[in-house]
Amino acid sequence: MSQATQSKGPQGQSRDPRGRGPPVYGRGPPGGIKGTNDRPRRPRREPVEEVWIPKTVLGKKVASGEISSLEEIIESGLRIQEAGIIKKLLPDLKSEVVDVGIIQKMTANGQSTRFRAIVAAGNENGYLGIGQGKSKQMRIAIEKATSQAFLNVSPIKLGCGSWECRCDQKHSVPFKVRGKGGSVRIEIIPAPRGLGLVAGGKIKRLLELAGLKDAWTTAKGSTPTMNSTSKAILDCLRQTFSQG
Q: Which residues of this protein are in contact with Zn ion, per CB under 5 A?
A: 160, 165, 167, 193
Phi, psi of 145 (to 5 degrees): -65, -35
Of the two residues 93 and 177, which places its CB atom closer to Zn ion in the complex? 177
Task: Tell me how far CA of residue 231 lies from CA of 64, 89, 153, 185, 206, in angstroms.
Answer: 33, 23, 12, 10, 11
Minimum separation from the CB atom of position 74 to Zn ion (A): 27
Of the two residues 95 and 172, which places its CB atom closer to Zn ion in the complex? 172
> In terms of C-beta density within 10 A (0-12 exposed, 13-18 middle, 19 or more buried), how is residue 41 classed?
exposed
Minimum separation from the CB atom of position 198 to Zn ion (A): 15
How many C-alpha atoms does 52 have within 13 Å on its Cβ side?
A: 16
Minimum separation from the CB atom of position 179 to Zn ion (A): 22
Of the two residues 99 and 214, which places its CB atom closer to Zn ion in the complex? 214
Of the two residues 88 and 193, which places its CB atom closer to Zn ion in the complex? 193
Minimum separation from the CB atom of position 157 to Zn ion (A): 14
Query: Which residue from 86, 73, 185 is spatially nearest to 131, judged by alpha carbons?
Result: 86
